[in-house]
Amino acid sequence: MNPQPQPPKITLSSTVDYREHYANSVQVRVSLWDFFLLFGTVNQSTAEEVAIHNFQGIYLSPQQAKALANVLNQNISQYEGTFGEIKLEAKAAGSIQ
């Protein structure tokens, strides 16, 4: 019987330019080599005008994008189990920013 290898010790740290931002808009662009997530904030001043101010773009490998999707799905399930179903507006459901 072979002993299981010990998982590596993971140390998290932030770089000097680390920042946190709120985003209520995420646009996704896909190419053969990567996924590009463009984060921003939506400002709607009138019923006819919406402005999106993008502030950060992140490239992910397809493998990392799929891992992110899995982690988000797990966390959404846990959130809904605790706080109830997250409902999307009918307009927003078909056109996620």
pLDDT at 70: 98
Write out the two tokens for 65: 């994008």
Dump pLDDT digits (tens) for 5-59. Answer: 898 999 999 999 999 999 999 999 999 999 999 999 999 989 899 999 999 999 9
Residue 76 lies in a domain: yes
Distances (CA, A) of 42 to 25, 27, 67: 6, 12, 27
- Tally of domains within the chain: 1
C-beta separation of 23 from 40 below 8 A: yes
pLDDT at 41: 96
Distances (CA, A) of 43 to 21, 29, 39, 47, 83: 15, 21, 13, 11, 27
pLDDT at 45: 87
C-beta separation of 79 from 86 below 8 A: yes
Domain that holds residue 38: 25-85
Confidence of residue 76 (pLDDT cuts 50, 70, 90): very high
Task: Flag whether pLDDT at 94 surpasses 50.
Answer: no
Quick one: which H or E segment has residue 56? strand 49-60
Residue 3 lies in a domain: no
Confidence of residue 93 (pLDDT cuts 50, 70, 90): very low
Average pLDDT over residues 60-89: 97
Nearest to 95 by CA among 35, 26, 37: 26
Residue 8 lies in a domain: no
Nearest to 57 by CA among 24, 29, 31: 29
Residue 32 lies in a domain: yes
